């Protein structure tokens, strides 16, 4: 069992990229990290590396598109702790950049299953553990591409990136964040985007073939900031690395 002082965090999609870096940084604060990975082997390998650096980490098989996997992950976490202080819904799928004229409902469904229904599955399953914490926080890893303020700005490249799945899934995630926050005032729900929107920068990861200008450490600054807010911290906000971002 986790000692009563130690902060606990579950991160989905933490076997690589921003999820893994969040695990490394929050583990470095002495937190107990539940490292979610849809592939058990990749999760174990990532956890072993963190553990070798002194992180208190438990790999957890967790495919956010599967109710069974999420339920099993909850049972694993519950064996180690009676409460979850922080949930980071980080797992994400980029989808294909298909022109809206060609996009099908099936294509959108696959992306929504990870980016929209995934965070709902995980949040719903872990609510009892979150509600058992003194000041629980949920960080939704969204995207500037899901912000109307960004997509409608002609100077932003995403304005001319013609696709439906990813941007609309992250817009839905933003609204989910607000609706959860309104309905559950005992939990802080905040959405973030890892980049610096005004400078049009994002973090280099597999998702963007490492074309990002920021390191994963820079990309996780806002994740760590929102994961570590105190009891008087914000809820129902949307921020990038620099600060608040218009929805
Ligand atoms: N990089 C950026 O600057 C940027 C900008 C805006 C938003 N984001 C968001 O940041 C989050 C992390 O992305 P990243 O850049 O770190 O990309 P990444 O390195 O490709 O990581 C994505 C993670 O999501 C996991 N994942 C995908 N489908 C999953 C599923 N069904 N169940 C569980 N995990 C699943 C992947 O697992 P596998 O290894 O098994 O595929 C991987 O661990 C995403 O939500 C993304 O939309 C990133």
CATH number at residue 57: 3.40.50.720
The Cα–Cα gap between 80 and 59 comes to 12
In terms of pLDDT, which residue wins out, 3 or 133? 133
The Cα–Cα gap between 242 and 147 comes to 16
CA of 61 to the centre of ligand 1 (A): 15
Of 10, 11, 12, 13, best ligand 1 pocket probe by most atoms within 8 Å of the beta carbon: 13
How much is the average pLDDT of 212-240? 98
How much is the average pLDDT of 217-236? 98
**Which one is catalytic: 170, 180, 188, 199?**
170
Return the H-helix or E-strand segment holding 11: strand 8-11
Assigned domain for 190 exists: yes
The pTM for the full model equals 0.98
Assigned domain for 102 exists: no
**What percentage of the chain has pLDDT greater than the value 70?**
98
**Domain containing residue 119:** 8-94+111-152+169-239
CA of 226 to the centre of ligand 1 (A): 18
Q: How many domains does the chain have?
A: 1
């Amino acid at each position: 069992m986790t000692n009563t002082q130690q902060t606990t965090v579950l991160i989905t999609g933490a076997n690589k990229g921003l999820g893994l870096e969040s695990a490394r940084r929050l583990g470095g604060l002495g937190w107990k990290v539940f490292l979610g990975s849809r592939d058990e082997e990749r999760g174990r390998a990532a956890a072993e590396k963190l553990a070798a650096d002194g992180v208190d980490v438990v790999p957890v098989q967790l495919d956010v598109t599967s109710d069974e996997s999420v339920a099993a992950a909850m049972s694993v976490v519950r064996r180690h702790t009676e409460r979850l202080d922080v949930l980071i819904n980080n797992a994400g799928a980029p989808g294909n950049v298909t022109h809206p004229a060609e996009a099908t409902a099936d294509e959108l469904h696959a992306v929504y299953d990870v980016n929209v229904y995934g965070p709902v599955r995980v949040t719903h399953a872990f609510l009892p553990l979150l509600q058992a914490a003194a000041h629980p926080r949920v960080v939704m890893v969204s995207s500037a591409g899901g912000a109307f303020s960004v997509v409608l700005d002609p100077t932003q490249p995403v304005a001319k990136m013609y696709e439906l799945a990813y941007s609309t899934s992250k817009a839905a995630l933003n609204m989910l964040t607000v609706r959860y926050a309104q309905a559950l005032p005992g939990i802080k729900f905040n959405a973030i985007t890892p980049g610096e929107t005004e400078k049009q920068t994002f973090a280099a990861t597999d998702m963007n073939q490492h074309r990002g200008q920021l390191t994963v450490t820079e990309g996780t600054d806002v994740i760590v900031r929102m994961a570590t807010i105190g009891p008087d911290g914000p809820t129902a906000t949307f921020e990038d690395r620099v600060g608040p971002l218009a929805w």
